Amino acid sequence: MKENPRLQAVRAVQQELATIGIDPFGVQIDRILSPTEGLIDGRHTILAGTNNYLGMTFDADCVAAARNALETSGTGTTGSRMANGSYAGHRELELDLARYYGKRDAIVFSTGYQANLGMISALAGPSDTVLIDADSHASIYDGCKLSGANTIRFRHNDAEDLAKRLRRLGADAENALVVVEGVYSMLGDRAPMNEFVDVKKEFGAVLLVDEAHSMGVLGNKGRGVAEEAGVLADVDYVVGTFSKSLGNTGGFCVGDSDDMGVLRYASRPYVFTASLAPATIAATRQALRKLAGADDLRQRLQENAERLHAGLSALGFRLGAAPNAVVAVLVGDKLEALRFWDHLLKHGVYVNLMVPPATPGNESLLRCSVSAAHTPAQIDAICAAFGSWTGAKA
């Protein structure tokens, strides 16, 4: 076969990494020891790049619920919800999510990525307009592509720019779909949700908020930035994932629309993807029961985030945002970021390497995700590993 031009750029990156001898995308955690520790290449490693914000992956009640479901309902559904894979637990989880958010109904998807893909493509079509934050996650961009809608980007976290672009649409601004994220995964910065809600009300637009990185973390009951800002009732659709604070796999959307029951059948990712395994559903339901009352975990997470942020700031690193579950260290040069990431891994700390074009401002960064399960000693060890990089460069 001829060389696929779409793969040439990817192949070039692989060849570059092979030349350098560093492959951040091929890391294998050989053994998980706890929510915050693992073995990588035989080395005891602090996991600071897993998004396990509340440390739920080893929660005893969640593990027990999964084990019971595995024994009573088997390993999988072997089909989509539409065809043959909808169990009672799937619907019960949807009702749990709706009650948790105080919304009318919910739809559960097999991944968080598919939640955005499925909802955006179901809510908008070729004759519609979707306005998205310029720093939106790939799943939001891909949902727009699948919808075929006219897609307009507005400046990151800029409500005035959103209003300007809606104003240009005239009468079409009414019912246009606006998509923002509560916390942005690259830098950890929050959306000004009050301002976006004001714009939504002014123009009559529909607002969808992706709370993937803020669910469980922010808000009085952990319902995200919209709850923290006091505007949850004004958000039309909330999309989220089970793979962060809930410590599992899957995604969802909650909303008050009369169309919630119809939207699932208009969503191709929902209709044509195998549904979540019973053990996943059971563990997620158990984790969700704990989320509203997890004030102690949220407090511990915030304390850990502040400790890490302060430690890295004291070392002179440029950080992406105020203390949050996501703490991003801005590096700039891609090659330096690669070597920095490899240095940390060899010093027993695993973080995420992010490079353009996935990053804002065309700048490489090292992304730490803080967990409530991290100990103060582990946070200090992460800071020490970052601090050792200065000496290693000299």
Over residues 118-176, the pLDDT tens digits come to 999 999 999 999 999 999 999 999 999 999 999 999 999 999 999 999 999 999 999 89
* Alpha carbons 338 and 169: distance in angstroms, whole number: 43
Active-site residue identified among 103, 137, 213, 374? 213
Is the CA virtual torsion 129, 134, 140, 143 positive or negative? positive
What φ, ψ does residue 362 adopt, rounded to 5°? Answer: 55, 35
What average pLDDT does range 332-351 have in this prediction? 94
How confident is residue 332, by pLDDT bands cut at 50, 70 and 90? Answer: confident
pLDDT in tens, 75-111: 999 999 988 878 999 999 999 999 999 999 999 999 9
Instruction: Tell me the mean pLDDT in the region 306-333.
Output: 95
Predicted pLDDT of residue 25: 82
Residue 131 neighbours by CB under 8 Å, 6+ apart: 151, 152, 153, 154, 162, 165, 166, 176, 177, 178, 179, 205
Pairing label, strands 105-109, 251-255: antiparallel
The whole-angstrom separation of Cα 129 and Cα 147 is 10
* Alpha carbon separation from 154 to 162, 262, 329, 363 (Å, rounded): 6, 29, 25, 20
Residue (of 273, 280, 304) closest to 377 by Cα position: 304
Select which of 244, 309, 347, 374 is catalytic.
244
Model pLDDT, residue 393: 62
Phi, psi of 144 (to 5 degrees): -65, -40
Length of the chain: 394
Cα separation, 245 vs 212, in Å, equals 9
| pLDDT score for 392 | 61
Kindly state the greatest CA–CA separation across the chain: 62
pLDDT at 241 over 90: yes
Is 374 an annotated catalytic residue?
Answer: no
CB distance 71 to 227 below 8 Å: no
Torsion of CA 347, 350, 355, 361, to 10 degrees: -100
pLDDT of residue 290 exceeding 70: yes
What phi, psi does 118 have (nearest 5°)?
-70, -40
* Phi, psi of 202, rounded to the nearest 5 degrees: -60, -40
Q: Is residue 139 flagged as an active site residue? A: no
Residue entry with tokens 């200090």 = 380
The pLDDT, as a whole number, for residue 245 is 97
For residue 14, the model assigns a pLDDT of: 77
pLDDT digits (tens, 9 = 90+) for 254-274: 999 999 999 999 999 999 999
Domains and CATH numbers, the chain: 12-54+294-393 (3.90.1150.10), 60-291 (3.40.640.10)
Active site residue 244: yes
Catalytic residue (one of 110, 136, 139, 185): 185
